[in-house]
Structure 1
Amino acid sequence: MVEPLLLVGVTVAAFVGYNIGGATTGPAFGPAVGAKVISKSGAAALMSVFFFVGAGTLGQRVVTTLGEDLVTGANVFTLETSIVVLFFIGGALFVGNYAGVPASTSMTAVGAIAGLGLATGTLDWAVMGEIAVWWIVAPIIGFWVSGVIGRYFYPTIDQWVAIESTDGSLIEIDRSGALPRPVPGPNTTRRELVGGVVVIAIGCLMAFSSGTSNIANAIAPLVGAGVEMTPMILLGSAAVAVGAFTIARRTLDTLGNDITELPLTAAIVVAVVSSGIVISLSAVGIPASFVIIATMSIVGLGWGRATRTVTASEGLRGKKRPNVSVGALKVDEISEIGQGDPSDIPSAADLFNPATSARVVLMQNVVPILSTVGALVTFSLLFAFLW
């Protein structure tokens, strides 16, 4: 009876890992893909590698914490309860991925485990409260920091960075030698290449941080039930890689293209803000809501740029022009006012899509609620049969 249950548990854990790959690849590499710095396949490959590195190192500590600290009962995690918890985690994440919206794996997993703790009276409210407070505060910080940057500092940063996307690929594969090697594209400038490397490196850092926290969401219940940790980390990381190469393409589109246009400068801003918050929370032992923070940073930057009011005299090579208010123009676009076709100037709607942003925020709250309520109701009804 134990072996079939274990097989079912491992299968459900792999399904959760698959959906984690779909949900977290977008926030990590969506800015880079949206800025055409890297392809979706390249993003998936880097996500797979750095997620595994994070999972195999710091991720082990998070697995232990999530499998033991949040729920205090000695024998709460069994193979049966673990399978049910993982089922609700994977099912809820699949709903978000199918809708093309990356949901928070941490919120979804903790919600399902909290549902088990509520049903059995073993939830540690102090731990849960501390996590919940930071889940509320961190996305707000990400939104407003990015919004302020987009509204007041983006043109200055854009001038500092001075990276303009050129036609063609940023990096190409040279197959003329014995081994294929990456080389700059034919039109790639040095500044563009440096900026691209920076935003990819930050994406890799975010993938690493995702591995440190999100591997626990796939395997912690089974490890808490007594399954050995190392094989489960290998299994979970492999499942994440499959998700990154398949279903993550939808979330990469959503976060890289649909919410807001992301030139390379914007991609760097989003990556720095969101990864900085995630790393800060990880340093103090808080399981970061990786997806929510990154997504709200993108939304905040788009909102800030869309609501910014500038004058046509800004950046006009020293020429004075009438003060004409325009929405969220890039520095190079501002310099062309009065010289080109006014219809070419992007509107606020081009830089910020409220409908898509509302759909993202709604789904990212619905998915964790589905896992929490589903687990709570199920364990409340089946409590007598499981113990």
Structure 2
Amino acid sequence: MIELLLISFGLVVALFVGYNIGGATTGPAFGPAVGSDVLSKTGAAALMSVFFAIGAWTIGRRVVDTLGNDLVTRGGIFTLETSIVVLFFIGAALFIGNYAGVPASTSMTAVGAIAGLGVATGSLDWAVMGEIAVWWIVAPIIGFWVSGMIGRYLYPQINRRVAIESSEGPLFTVDRSGTVPRLVPGENTTRREAVGSVVVILIGCLMAFSSGTSNIANAIAPLVGAGMDLEPLIVLGSVAVAVGAFTIARRTLDTLGNDITNLPLTASIIVAVVSSAIVTGLSAIGIPASFVIIATMSIVGLGWGRATRTVTVSQSIRGEGETKVSVGALTAEEPGDAAPDIGDEEPDDIPAAADLFDPATTGRVIMMQNAVPVISTVGAYVTFLVLFRFVW
């Protein structure tokens, strides 16, 4: 009877973790698409649910085995009791981030809780933990600076080549004139806009798939390590992620799609390409990628780079000589838009940094993304230290 209650409680806690994973990972995957009005929040949630489940069912089972066995060295450390405690701290910490509208890293939060268990019991593999931690520091920095340099030096040229501008009306409509309904571009949708929109959605789907391959382990690995069957847990975890994607993920979609920086479609594609490339590279070498942090820092980097574009122009203007102006006053970012003559710009024509990059929101995001894994790690460590010393 007691074991049945423990199993039931463990499943409830695992579902709670999956719910919060859906809330935390939908924003980084589809925030750029939602922020640029390519995709609705409901559409993002639906795609997240499908591709997360595919990733979890195919490759995710390998990550479950790794997280449940390699990070801690002592056999049998995962029991139903320890698994419930670990999952509780993962879910509670992620919920704090989701409630604040900040998508925290599920990988960092989960690994932190398991590391807390490992340190408290003397069973943590420090070599494995050290390698993971180094990449968790390096990868977001790479994402920030690559996106920042693109935003600062290359964005106008890329934008002119891509030349994607959101049009009025829906991007796609359903044509029901034939026997089989089909999806067609909207009345005002250009070919480049349609292609760019499909690209940014497909990249979001790729990131959702990648999330499934790694993050399903964060919800179910402790229970699998305790001896429960893998396949039913994958199904239950994927359903919980879908519920989170349709509900609490709306907060994180707002944060990453609208609050940090205004993302036109070109910027969305840049962020998605940079983030997915880094995540894929880390996955290829066996590192559990924190794609939430990487995607967030890519968005921050691009916003910072665009907001700080300035150039010194050596040109005689009414005899005043050298003048420093915003790039936005010199370069029209869309084809056909002529830049105003230097010195003739209206103040409203020069984009303010606050319109491209919100330091206050960025500070809140970075603070919470670091606090959430700390909460799970410290909470699990203290709890297991007390339990193993005085109870177990």
TM range, normalised to the smaller chain?
A: over 0.9
| 8 Å CA contact retained: 1:34, 1:257 | yes
| 8 Å CA contact retained: 2:20, 2:244 | yes
Counterparts of 2:257 and 2:194, CA distance in 1: 19
Counterparts of 2:360 and 2:181, CA distance in 1: 43
| 8 Å CA contact retained: 1:38, 1:170 | no
- 2:23: which partner in 1? 22
- 1:100: which partner in 2? 101
Deviations 1:238-262 (A, max 9, x none): 1000100110001000000000010
Task: Supply the RMSD in Å over aligned alpha carbons.
Answer: 2.0
- 2:196: which partner in 1? 195
Counterparts of 1:342 and 1:97, CA distance in 2: 38
Q: Does 1:381 align with 2:386?
A: yes
Q: Does 1:350 align with 2:358?
A: no
Code of the aligned partner of 2:185: P
Code of the aligned partner of 1:24: T
Counterparts of 1:69 and 1:172, CA distance in 2: 49
Code of the aligned partner of 2:382: V
Code of the aligned partner of 1:195: G
Query: Structure 2 matches for 1:146-225, cutoff 5 A?
Result: 146-174=147-175, 181-225=182-226
How high is the sequence identity, in percent, across the aligned residues? 74
Q: Does 1:368 align with 2:369?
A: no
Gaps of 5+ in 2: 315-320
Alignment partner of 1:335 out of 334, 338, 359:
338
Deviations 1:76-134 (A, max 9, x none): 10000000000000000000000000000000000000000011100000000000000
Counterparts of 2:340 and 2:290, CA distance in 1: 41
Residue 12 of structure 1: SS of its match in structure 2?
Answer: helix
Counterparts of 1:181 and 1:90, CA distance in 2: 41
Counterparts of 2:193 and 2:242, CA distance in 1: 28
| 8 Å CA contact retained: 1:158, 1:331 | no
- 2:325: which partner in 1? 325
- With over 3 angstroms needed to count, the CA separation of the structure-2 counterparts of 1:312 and 1:36, relative to structure 1, is farther
Counterparts of 2:257 and 2:218, CA distance in 1: 25
Displacement, 1:328?
5.1
- 2:317: which partner in 1? none
Gaps of 5+ in 1: 314-320
Counterparts of 1:32 and 1:286, CA distance in 2: 26
| 8 Å CA contact retained: 1:80, 1:386 | no
Deviations 1:119-151 (A, max 9, x none): 110000000000000000000000000001001
Displacement, 1:182?
2.8
Counterparts of 2:391 and 2:114, CA distance in 1: 15
Deviates more, 1:338-347 or 1:63-72: 338-347
| 8 Å CA contact retained: 1:306, 1:328 | no
Code of the aligned partner of 1:335: A
Residue 232 of structure 2: SS of its match in structure 1?
Answer: helix
Displacement, 1:173?
3.6
Query: Structure 2 matches for 1:278-317, cutoff 5 A?
Result: 278-310=279-311
- 1:277: which partner in 2? 278
Query: Structure 2 matches for 1:243-254, cutoff 5 A?
Result: 243-254=244-255
| 8 Å CA contact retained: 1:81, 1:386 | no
- With over 3 angstroms needed to count, the CA separation of the structure-2 counterparts of 1:222 and 1:346, relative to structure 1, is same
Counterparts of 1:213 and 1:372, CA distance in 2: 19
Code of the aligned partner of 1:197: V
Code of the aligned partner of 1:124: D
Counterparts of 2:199 and 2:105, CA distance in 1: 25
Counterparts of 1:33 and 1:174, CA distance in 2: 23
Displacement, 1:296?
0.2
Counterparts of 1:5 and 1:174, CA distance in 2: 52
Deviates more, 1:161-170 or 1:339-348: 339-348
